[in-house]
A = this chain, B = another copy of it.
Amino acid sequence: MIKHRAIRDALLGRIVSGEWAPGRVIPGEVDLAREFGCTRATVARALRELVAAGLVERRRRGGTRVLGRSGRDAVVTIPIVREEIEAAGHAYGYERLTVREADPPEPIRQAFGLRPGAAAVHVACLHRADGRPAQVEDRWINAAAVPAVRTQDFRTVSPNEWLVRAVPYTRARHEFRAERPTDRLRGLLDLAPDEWVFVVERRTWREDAGITVAHLYNPADRFRITTRDPVAFGVDPGAG
Task: List residues of chain A with CB under 8 Å of any chain B CB.
Answer: 15-16, 18, 22, 48, 51-52, 58, 68-80, 164-165, 168-180, 194, 196, 198, 204, 206-207, 220, 223-231, 236, 238-240
Residue contact B196 to A16, C-beta cutoff 8 Å = no
A194 partner, pick from B69, B79, B164, B194, beta carbons under 8 A: B194
User: What distance in Å separates the Cβ of A217 from its nearest Cβ neighbour in chain B?
Assistant: 12
User: What distance in Å separates the Cβ of A219 from its nearest Cβ neighbour in chain B?
Assistant: 10
Q: Chain B residues with Cβ under 8 A from A178's Cβ? A: 178, 196, 198, 220, 223
Q: Chain B residues with Cβ under 8 A from A229's Cβ? A: 171-173
Q: Chain B residues with Cβ under 8 A from A79's Cβ? A: 72
Residue contact B194 to A75, C-beta cutoff 8 Å = no
Residue contact A48 to B177, C-beta cutoff 8 Å = no
A196 partner, pick from B72, B73, B220, B228, beta carbons under 8 A: B220
Residue contact B77 to A72, C-beta cutoff 8 Å = yes
Tell me the nearest residue of chain B to A171, going by C-beta: B229
A50–B43 CA distance with the chains assembled, in angstroms? 21
A175–B72 CA distance with the chains assembled, in angstroms? 13
